[in-house]
């Protein structure tokens, strides 16, 4: 009996739960996330967006403590906050400047996605979440623009209400729900305040979802599939954290310069006058980041079709993964260099010209400029993208 071997119950199993290494935490997983080594500075815009979003939420929560959504009190409470509260002017300046920088960075982020085909499989879900984020941010920005209840705030809400009212059949009902009556007033402010506040936290949740999908699917590469190979990747820290930090610092310098030295770039003087329903401003226009869509709205004679064209300019972004349905994730210009460059240039120029047309109220020569810009914008999505997808399938190069 003494020579009988003992049963192996004391042998340490490689599969024993108490001997497994602890699960990797979120922070360590993020820092060790491997990304293509050739990511350029356009990829730092995402980090800039996260920083500005945190700034916007923090400053917005503080501003909301002193705001009263009432047509008779809203303007005076904003003025009192800015002129009398300690550092109130700084809080509002941070919030106003942050809105413009956030929209600018968001447009750059979308443009980078179009350039490098971030919408291609397996990242269609990532693109769709990003476009929905764009829509949510635009609605939030518009609601925030109404809240100060200055001249432009009031008449901006009035123009938006009439545009919604142009929808056949359900337009009058939607306009009544939007305004809370026949014209902008206290019910409108209550609706915009709740919408602005609710969507702000919804955006935070959508950003978390966006980042989670990015981690699950991985980032694309400026050099296409070749750059996404494991041998061509580097850990997020320290290689990309340093690059992101540099981008955030540069953005912070530009942010401070605009806020302190050129605030007129992101503010509207007419909105520092209280809303007056009896005096229509000579030039009613939205913030600069809505001007391209405002120009498209005005370029069409019909209110309903103008609203359709303007809203479709955002909706078409949701259709991009199917308009350009190539399965590989290589950037457009790897195959269609010169043609893709011209097409992207036409898209950018069209977007800018549509904004300038909206700034000049699409009158005179700007009417035709706005129409041509609208045509050029849609030609990229409905013309160039399907063409290059079909050409790729047939093996045609340009």
Cite the DSSP H helix spans in the chain.
Answer: 26-32, 45-64, 74-83, 88-115, 124-146, 151-165, 171-179, 186-217, 236-261, 291-299, 303-318, 320-323, 337-359, 365-379, 385-394
Closest to 106 (Cα-Cα) out of 149, 165, 45, 197: 45
Question: Which one from 219, 221, 330, 350 is the annotated catalytic residue?
Answer: 219
Closest to 222 (Cα-Cα) out of 307, 133, 333: 333
The residue to which tokens 């979440």 are assigned: 129
Cα–Cα distance between 282 and 273 in angstroms, integer?
14
Question: Which one from 158, 175, 287, 324 is the annotated catalytic residue?
Answer: 287
Is residue 268 part of the annotated active site? The answer reads no
The residue to which tokens 């941070």 are assigned: 94
Residue 288 phi, psi dihedral angles, 5° rounding: -60, -35
Closest to 258 (Cα-Cα) out of 96, 45, 81, 17: 96
Question: Which one from 162, 190, 237, 243 is the annotated catalytic residue?
Answer: 243
Is residue 215 part of the annotated active site? The answer reads yes
How far does CA 49 lie from the centroid of its chain? 9
How far does CA 125 lie from the centroid of its chain? 16
Question: Which one from 244, 268, 285, 324 is the annotated catalytic residue?
Answer: 244
Cβ-based neighbour number of residue 131 at 10 Å? 20
Question: Which one from 95, 162, 190, 215 is the annotated catalytic residue?
Answer: 215
Is residue 118 part of the annotated active site? The answer reads no
Q: Which residues pair with 242 in a beta bridge?
A: none
Is residue 219 part of the annotated active site? The answer reads yes
The dihedral formed by the CA atoms of 102, 104, 105 and 110, expressed in degrees to the nearest 10: 120
Query: CA-CA distances (angstroms) from residue 130 to 6, 55, 209, 287, 309?
Result: 61, 20, 10, 22, 21
Cα–Cα distance between 309 and 350 in angstroms, integer?
14
The residue to which tokens 């898209």 are assigned: 347
How far does CA 346 lie from the centroid of its chain? 21
Is residue 183 part of the annotated active site? The answer reads no
Residues acting as catalytic residues: 215, 219, 243-244, 287
């Amino acid at each position: 009996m003494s020579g009988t071997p003992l049963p192996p119950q004391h042998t340490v199993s490689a599969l024993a739960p108490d001997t497994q290494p602890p699960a990797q935490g979120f922070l360590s997983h993020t820092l060790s996330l491997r990304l293509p080594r050739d990511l350029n500075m356009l990829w730092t815009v995402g980090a800039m967006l996260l920083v500005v979003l945190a700034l916007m939420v923090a400053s917005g929560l503080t501003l909301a403590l002193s705001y009263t959504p009432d047509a008779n009190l809203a303007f005076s409470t904003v003025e009192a906050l800015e002129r009398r509260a300690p550092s109130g002017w700084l809080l509002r300046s941070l919030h106003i400047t942050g809105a413009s920088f956030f929209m600018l960075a968001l447009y750059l982020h979308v443009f980078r996605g179009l350039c490098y085909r971030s919408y291609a499989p397996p990242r269609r879900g990532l693109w769709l979440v990003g476009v929905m984020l764009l829509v949510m941010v635009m609605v939030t920005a518009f609601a925030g623009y109404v809240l100060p209840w200055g001249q432009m705030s009031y008449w901006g809400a009035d123009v938006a209400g009439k545009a919604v009212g142009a929808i056949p059949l359900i337009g009058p009902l939607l306009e009544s729900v939007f305004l809370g009556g026949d014209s902008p007033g206290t019910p409108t402010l209550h609706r915009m305040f709740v919408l602005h506040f609710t969507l702000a936290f919804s955006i935070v949740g959508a950003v978390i979802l966006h980042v989670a999908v990015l981690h699950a699917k991985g980032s694309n590469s400026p050099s296409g599939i070749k750059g996404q190979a494991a041998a061509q990747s580097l850990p997020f820290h320290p290689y990309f954290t340093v690059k992101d930090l540099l981008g955030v610092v540069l953005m912070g310098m530009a942010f401070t310069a605009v806020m302190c030295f050129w605030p007129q770039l992101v503010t509207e003087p007419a909105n520092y006058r209280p809303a007056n329903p009896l005096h229509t401003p000579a030039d009613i226009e939205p913030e600069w980041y809505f001007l391209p869509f405002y120009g498209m709205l005005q370029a069409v004679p019909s209110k309903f079709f103008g609203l359709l064209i303007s809203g479709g300019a955002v909706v078409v972004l949701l259709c991009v993964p199917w308009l350009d349905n190539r399965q590989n994730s290589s950037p457009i210009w790897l195959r269609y260099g010169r043609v893709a460059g011209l097409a992207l240039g036409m898209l950018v120029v069209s977007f800018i010209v549509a904004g300038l047309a909206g700034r000049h109220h699409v009158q005179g020569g700007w009417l035709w400029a706005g129409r041509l810009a609208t045509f050029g914008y849609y030609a990229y999505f409905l013309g160039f993208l399907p063409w290059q997808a079909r050409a790729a399938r047939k093996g045609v190069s340009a």
